[in-house]
Structure 1
Amino acid sequence: MIKKLHKCLCCFLAVLLLSGCWDVINIEERGFVIGAAIDLADKANTGENTQLTLTNQFAVPPGLGTPGQEGSGDGKAYLNLSASGESIYAIAQEMANQTSKLPFFEHLKVVIISEEVASRPQLFADVMDVFIRNRDTRRGIKVLIAKGKAKDILNIQPENEKLPARYIDKILQNSLTITGEMKPVRIGDIHEYLLTKNSFILSEVTADHKKIKLEGGAVYKGDSGRLTGRLEREEMLGVDLITGEKVQGPIVVNYKNQLTTYLIEEANSKVKIIAKDPENIDIAVTIELEGEIEETFGTGKFEDPVVIQNAEKEIAAKVRNISNETIQKVQREFEADIFGFGNHLKKFHPDTWEKINKDWEHGENYFAKSHVNVTVKAKVRTDGVVNKSGK
């Protein structure tokens, strides 16, 4: 009797433990989406809702080759499919009819939104909603703005990568860790910005046949829910320096009419706000730089301490000008606090923030009225390796 009960129990456990998931989908039936682009549809938007075009880039495994031998496969490694409609989710499901495979977004690397889409009130938030809600998408997916058609970015033909979306992802990852030139915002960050209605900035790119090209930054204003303008590449550097983002890049100055390139290796920013009177808010930004001289033209001798000190002053002046011009443009033209000064007020001056938060970026617009003073301290850590000859 005990043996029979033991056998029955084993069979029962085997049924529970070895049975498959009720919603399992075979891997052959999945369409792995690695990149997505969203544009306005070409046809006129005559209805109440805007017509959108979604382009998904699907990986084609046979074209990728075997593991460790990427590129050895025959044929194209990806397939770009586009469809139009009013709902991003409905469009994605419609693509299943074109590919006979259900779109699967767990491996999605990058989402590209056209400038036209993001410039329409609330439309950027609407199209991002499906990616935020989808349980298959990850919070680390990178988001870019396309100057022109977003789908053109997914049509580039990189020489060293078979998947355009993966090439873009690698470029962005290298930029974050090495050059710091492009600052892609992740979907998780965008979710927080949209919930708090904070303003922020997105990197804007164009397609250049075999590569992507950084055009600058697109400014998204939180209270209006759309793009309100753009910044040039040098102004993007100013934003990063003010906000204390990781910056590793060159600053070119004319020291005594000689071209000198200073490489930023470390950058730190500190913000102090005096907000006793909402009508006269003073914001002090202190930027500290450390780096080395990478290149000089002429006969200047940077081993001389006096020369180095003068060069540091020139570098500090250049960075201060970039920062001031960026702040003035953002305050006057966009009235969008992309620097996070409002968050600093909320944290360190909660009483003042409680009074003015509804008029920080609109209405009275205390952000635009604030006085921002930038101080820069630049240090030349080394003048580089210079070969010397003679006695």
Structure 2
Amino acid sequence: MEIENRAFVSGVAIDPVKDNGDKNLKMMTQVVIPNGLVSLPNNSSGGEKSFRNVSSIGKTIFEVKSSIEEKEDGDLDNSHIEIVIISDELVKSEYKISDIIDVFMRESRMNRDIILAVANGSSEELLNIDPENVKLPSQYITELIKSNYKLADLEPETAGDMQYFFIKNKSFYLPYLENTPSTTGIQLGGVAVFEGENGKMVGILKGDEITGLALTRPSFSETLIVDHNGQKASFTIPDGRTEIKLLNSDPENLHFQFDVFLTGELVEASQGLDFIKEENIENLKKKFRLEAEKVMSKTISKLQNDYGVDILEFHEFLFRKHPDIWKQVEGNWDSGKNYFSNVDVTLNVDVTIREPGNTN
């Protein structure tokens, strides 16, 4: 097939549409215009638009995709899709996310590294933003997600990861995008939490709840702001790590422990804090530990009591380390009886302050 006859898709947005009471899907595809990606001196095409957004409506994603292809003068090539954004209005109640993205996992030429994200409200609005220094809105959103995840030493979930989650009925989370009055018109507002059993979005984690989630990962890098006697001190955690332990073997009353090891580097502090004095350092370490415990407890409580969904990897730990126990609870872990909501969690946080910086 001649490359000139292909219409390369870089991003997809999917929204709900109600037409005379029928539930339909609206899909927008962002098609790359190659000439618009090239900016050369004295080149008249340098200001040409680098993409066009084409949309259509149908009962299924495949039907919409076929309708969009009819509007294009070339064959749609989906092998370079970077991101698929889904409106939260779809996955909160109307559809399982597995039904929405099935075509992106099933088609043989589809890119398996497609990043999946959830939008607050309309997803197609996000593909119409006008970012500076980036030609494609889809590319900007992809890099925004990757860079934010990288700061926490994480990787965003892709279409290739979803098959495992769906087969195992494993709960998971995806980037949650929001409109904002900033120049780019978009921000990563948190993560959307999905229940593995029914594939529906059950809630959102934001702010320090994200920090609390990151601190439960096996390895992470994070930032914590500590209140020290009414003054603020900011720490980076370049190489934190967490280990999970099971303290008992009663399936009806499981007790887990997070052993969290934090190595903090002081990067900013209010004036008046003397870090030469050992007592101040020890007091700061205590405040550092308490802040870590607070944000972790907040996240764990929300997941257990509000959402009843395990994205803390307890299920993975039981499956790998205690398979006999897992066999007894897997059918009712974070659904049915929901053993997850009733487990006890102990936090054991160890803090080291590596250096106070170049000044005391």
- If the length of structure 1 is used for normalisation, what is the TM-score? 0.86
2:315 to 339, 342, 365: 342
Deviation, structure 1 residue 224: 2.0
| CA 44–289 in structure 1, closer or farther in 2 if over 3 Å, else same | farther
Cα–Cα, structure 1 residues 84 and 196, in superposed 2: closer, same or farther, change >3 Å? same
* Cα distance in 1 between the residues matched to 2:20 and 2:313: 38
TM-superposed CA distance for 1:167, in Å, is 1.2
Measured after TM superposition, the shift of residue 41 of structure 1 is 1.5
For 2:351, give the aligned amino acid: A
Aligned to 1:9: none
Matched, 1:35 2:11: yes
Shift of 1:243: 2.4
Using a 3 Å threshold, how does the CA distance of structure 1 residues 255 and 70 change in structure 2: closer, same or farther?
farther
Q: Distance in 1 between matches of 2:43 and 2:214?
A: 36
Match for residue 166 of structure 2? Answer: 194
What letter matches 1:219 in structure 2? V
Cα distance, 1:267 vs structure 2: 1.1
* Pairs within 5 Å for 1:78-157: 78-120=51-93, 122-157=95-130
Q: Look up the match of 2:263.
A: 290
Change (3 A) 1:38 1:298: same
TM-fit CA distance, 1:121: 5.7
Q: Give 1:174 shift.
A: 2.1
Per-residue CA deviations over 1:310-360 (Å, capped at 9, x if unaligned) read 111111100101101111111111111111101111111111111111111
* Partner of residue 225 from structure 1, selected from 181, 199, 209: 199
Structure 1 SS opposite 2:165: helix
Structure 2: which amino acid aligns with 1:60? I
- Contact kept? 1:45, 1:51, Cα under 8 Å: no
Matched, 1:213 2:197: no
User: 1:37–1:358: structure 2 CA closer, same or farther, 3 Å change rule?
Assistant: same
Q: CA deviation at 1:182?
A: 8.1
Q: CA deviation at 1:291?
A: 2.3
Taking the aligned partners of 2:45 and 2:290, their CA distance within structure 1 comes to 53
Larger radius of gyration: 1
1:45-91 CA deviation, whole Å, 9 max, x = no partner?
Answer: 42xxx310001001111111158999972321110111110121221
Is contact 1:121-1:225 (8 Å) kept?
A: no
2:35/2:45 contact within 8 Å kept: no
Amino acid at match of 1:155: N
The equivalent position to 2:47 in structure 1, one of 52, 70, 74, is 74
Distance apart, 1:286 and its partner CA: 1.1
Name stretches of at least 5 consecutive residues in structure 2 with no aligned partner.
none
Deviates more, 1:185-194 or 1:145-154: 185-194
Match of 1:176 in 2: 149
Deviation digits for residues 257-287 of structure 1, max 9, x if unmatched?
1111111111101000134211210100011
| Aligned residue type for 1:229 | G
Deviation of the 1:247 alpha carbon: 2.5
Q: What corresponds to 1:63 in structure 2?
A: 36
Which residue does the alignment assign to 1:20? none
Q: AA paired with 1:236?
A: I
- Report deviation, 1:212: 2.1
- AA aligned opposite 2:19: K
Counterpart-to-counterpart distance in 2, 1:70 and 1:89 = 39
- The separation in 2 between residues aligned to 1:70 and 1:287, in whole angstroms, is 56
Q: State the alpha-carbon separation in 1 of the partners of residues 226 and 285 from structure 2.
A: 10
| Separation in structure 2 between the aligned mates of residue 42 and residue 192 of structure 1, nearest angstrom | 32
8 A Cα contact 1:93 1:103, kept in partner:
no
Flag the 1:152–1:292 CA change in 2: closer, same or farther, 3 A. same
TM-score normalised to structure 2 length: 0.94
* Contact 1:154–1:164 (CA under 8 A) maintained in structure 2: yes
Aligned residue identity for 1:339: L
- Alignment-derived partner of residue 211 in structure 2: 237
- Give 2:284's aligned amino acid: A
How far apart, CA to CA, are the structure 2 residues paired with 1:330 and 1:323?
11
CA contact (8 A) 1:336 1:361 kept: yes
How far off its partner does 1:183 sit?
5.6
Distance 2:241 2:42 in 1: 43
Deviates more, 1:236-245 or 1:365-374: 236-245
Amino acid at match of 2:161: D
Q: Of residues 256, 261, 265 in structure 1, which corresponds to 2:229? A: 256
**Change beyond 3 A, Cα 1:80–1:70:** farther
**Range with bigger deviation, 158-167 or 301-310:** 301-310
SS of corresponding position for 2:252: helix
Secondary structure of 1:119's counterpart equals helix
Aligned-partner Cα distance in 2 for 1:139–1:44: 36
Three-state SS of the structure 2 residue aligned to 1:185 is: coil
Q: Which runs of 5+ in 1 are unaligned?
A: 1-24
Aligned with 2:139 (options 166, 170, 178): 166
